[in-house]
Amino acid sequence: MLMLIIACALHSAAVHAEWLSREEAIMGTRCAVELWSEDRAAGEAAIEAVLAEMRRIDAAMSTYKPDSEVSRVNATAGKGPVAVSLELFALIQTAEGYSKLSQGVFDITYASVGYLYDYRAHVRPDDAAIDAALPSIDYRQLQLDPLKHTIAFGKPGMRIDLGGIGKGYAVDRGIAILQQRGIAHALVNAGGDTRVIGDRLGKPWVIGIRHPDRRDEVVLRIPLEDAAFSTSGDYERYFDEGGVRYDHIIDPKTGRSPHGVRSVTVIASTATRTDGLTKSVFIMGAEDGIAFINGLTDADAIVISDDGQVSYSMGLAPP
């Protein structure tokens, strides 16, 4: 998970103005909000509004909640079109856009195989189970009706999971809430997905990219203002078996965890975008992933390979 290295609060601040922060476990991860407010009560209310929005999104989109909207889609969309909320429909359309951009490397239908893994229990599907479910991974078989806002699955056994983009979306929704309330300096984080607005009153926010194997060791620090960043690593949700690591990032072409990359960090303007792009780069590998990011005009990336090599996109390459 991304480590945040935050500059110390300024002592010259007015007594009534202060940095406020709060953490909560939501969406299966640590979520945090930090902001500067001239009014403590207003600042605390803004933080609660962000966390409440994250809870709402989790209740609607978690595949671990059987009564969520996404779970309802997975249970019934294989039988015919299912009407969904405008919000869910729009996010699935956004995910479809990243599938097209990455030529299928990003694919929310990876869940057709992904649901067979249980990382906490160290359970993985055998080759026969993967081969049987693999044909159901195909974002092109998502049948979306933009007029009726329905979704149907074109293949039996299909499932979707928005875990590869949903946390970034929740972060962006949190930032939007803060901006609507006039907050100008803040950080919203959900696991490896973070977005900041403004700076820390004259100093930038500083992110630290952790070492894949040593949680307390920082490989690189980057100053940021008004930006989003996401880090995906093979050390987040995983188990090792027989010298092989099985982690939560699944290659939709194989139904298995890709190898060769330990960590990917992407920087862009929104957390939805950085969240989606990190998964694509991780699966593509360092060389192809960096080339993919270099082909975009609004994103940069840092990739740590399994041999410890650190690769940078053009916008971040050391002089």
Same domain, 199 and 286: yes
Read off the pLDDT band of 239 (50, 70, 90).
confident
Same domain, 250 and 155: no
> Mean pLDDT in the chain?
92
User: Is residue 179 included in any domain, yes or no?
Assistant: no
Task: Give the pLDDT score at 319.
Answer: 65
Same domain, 288 and 190: yes
Same domain, 188 and 305: yes
Same domain, 90 and 160: yes
Same domain, 219 and 289: yes
User: Is residue 318 included in any domain, yes or no?
Assistant: no
Q: Quick check: 194 pLDDT over 90?
A: yes
What separation in angstroms does the CA of 179 have from each of 19, 54, 170, 226?
Answer: 16, 16, 14, 12
User: Is residue 159 included in any domain, yes or no?
Assistant: yes
Read off the pLDDT of each residue in 181-191 and give the average, rounded to a whole number.
96
Q: Which domain holds residue 7?
A: 3-47+184-312
Same domain, 214 and 285: yes
Same domain, 279 and 212: yes
Q: At what angle do helices 271-284 and 86-101 cross, to 10 degrees?
A: 40
What separation in angstroms does the CA of 293 have from each of 61, 120, 154, 285?
Answer: 28, 32, 31, 12
Task: Give the pLDDT score at 9.
Answer: 40
Q: Quick check: 8 pLDDT over 50?
A: no
**Tally of structural domains, the chain:** 2
Read off the pLDDT of each residue in 195-207 and give the average, rounded to a whole number.
94
Read off the pLDDT band of 12 (50, 70, 90).
very low
Please identify, among 133, 164, 195, the residue that sits at the C-terminal boundary of a domain.
Answer: 164
Task: Give the pLDDT score at 228.
Answer: 97
Read off the pLDDT of each residue in 286-311 and give the average, rounded to a whole number.
96
Same domain, 39 and 66: no
**In this structure, what CATH number is given to the domain that contains residue 305?**
3.10.520.10
> Looking at 52-61, 118-127, 170-179, which range is the least confident one?
118-127
Task: Give the pLDDT score at 16.
Answer: 66
Q: 300: which 2 tokens?
A: 């940069």
Please identify, among 101, 129, 164, the residue that sits at the C-terminal boundary of a domain.
Answer: 164
Please give the model's pTM, rounded to 2 decimal places: 0.92
User: Is residue 271 included in any domain, yes or no?
Assistant: yes
Q: How is the chain split among helix, strand and coil, in percent rounded to 5?
A: 35, 30, 40
Read off the pLDDT of each residue in 250-265 and give the average, rounded to a whole number.
95
One-letter amino acid of 286? A
pLDDT tens digits, one per residue of 39-81: 999 999 999 999 999 999 999 999 999 999 999 999 999 999 9
Same domain, 227 and 290: yes
User: Is residue 178 included in any domain, yes or no?
Assistant: no
Task: Give the pLDDT score at 112.
Answer: 97
**In this structure, what CATH number is given to the domain that contains residue 76?**
1.10.3980.10
Q: Quick check: 11 pLDDT over 50?
A: no
User: Is residue 319 included in any domain, yes or no?
Assistant: no
